[in-house]
Structure 1
Amino acid sequence: MGKKLDDQKGITLLEVLLSIVLLVIVLTSFAGFYTISNVCEKNEDKISTTQTAQQIVNIIELELTRDILSTSTECPSLPCTLNEDKLAGLLDRSFDNTQKILVSFNNGEVGLIRVEVSVEDRSNPDSSSRTFTYIRR
């Protein structure tokens, strides 16, 4: 018929160590994938806030003049800070509600207005970006 297996007592220490080593190798590779995907997600959020801040700076540089700023009811004198709703009214545009936007206008060097644009992702407060520019006209 076949052999009797009565003389086997269990697995050896070498077999246990080999299985633990193989398990550690497999789990380490999965942990690496998880870490990489987590870093990529954080980078996407950071890139998104940076792009939004740069777009707002470009809009301000192209469309906003000293006259528009000084005659507006949102920012009648410097320094002033506008949130996304007030900035949207000033520039006659709408902005994405997934990000918190603050724009600060301050006196800069002679004849310039210093503009600071801060963008923060509402779902991930760790992801934020700040950009500066000047209005010359």
Structure 2
Amino acid sequence: MKTLQKQGGFTLLEVLLSIVLLSIILTSFLGFFTQSALFAKKNEYKLDTVQTAQKIVNLIELNVTKQDLMENNIIDGRGFVLNGTKTLNQIEVEKLIDESSGSDYNVRATVTNNSAENLIMFKIIVQDPAGPGNTSETYTYIRR
């Protein structure tokens, strides 16, 4: 019988070492992809709150007049906010803009005087109920 002098191939030790090295490398990449997915989801929630806030601002600019503010006891006859500042909850904001916000986010508005500019300032705050860190604020003004 003839014996083989040269046998090519990998030993079991070499195969196991290569598997271990590949698993270490893939594990580090997996951690990167997991963090990336979490970051993308957080940014999606933040973008949703910003878009909802901008939608509310646009609706206020289009639909809210001084007369509406007077009828809802937000401003007096001279155009000044009653008690200096008024905070509106989501139901009051939706009533004021005559439209539902169309989202699951908590919407609040703070109305204050800006006497130097003869304007009424609306500060719109949109918060994700699932996470208090996802909050967006934006501003708009209405002439008195």
Q: Which band: TM-score by shorter chain?
A: 0.7 to 0.9
1:16 deviation in Å? 6.4
- 2:29 and 2:133 map into 1 onto residues whose CA distance is 27
Cα displacement string for residues 42-83 of structure 1 (whole angstroms, at most 9, x for unaligned residues)? 01100000000001011111111122112214x352410111
RMSD of the alignment, in Å? 2.0
Secondary structure in 2 aligned to 1:57? Answer: helix
Counterpart in the other structure of 1:27: 27
Unmatched tracts of structure 2, length 5 or more? 1-11, 76-81
Counterpart in the other structure of 1:122: 129
Q: Does 1:100 align with 2:103?
A: no
Consecutive aligned runs of 4 or more in structure 1 exceeding 6 Å deviation: none
Q: TM-score, normalised by structure 2?
A: 0.76
1:136 deviation in Å? 1.7
Counterpart in the other structure of 2:45: 45
> Which amino acid is the alignment partner of residue 119 of structure 2?
L
Counterpart in the other structure of 1:68: 68
Q: TM-score, normalised by structure 1?
A: 0.80
1:97 deviation in Å? 5.1
Aligned residues: 125
> Which amino acid is the alignment partner of residue 122 of structure 1?
P
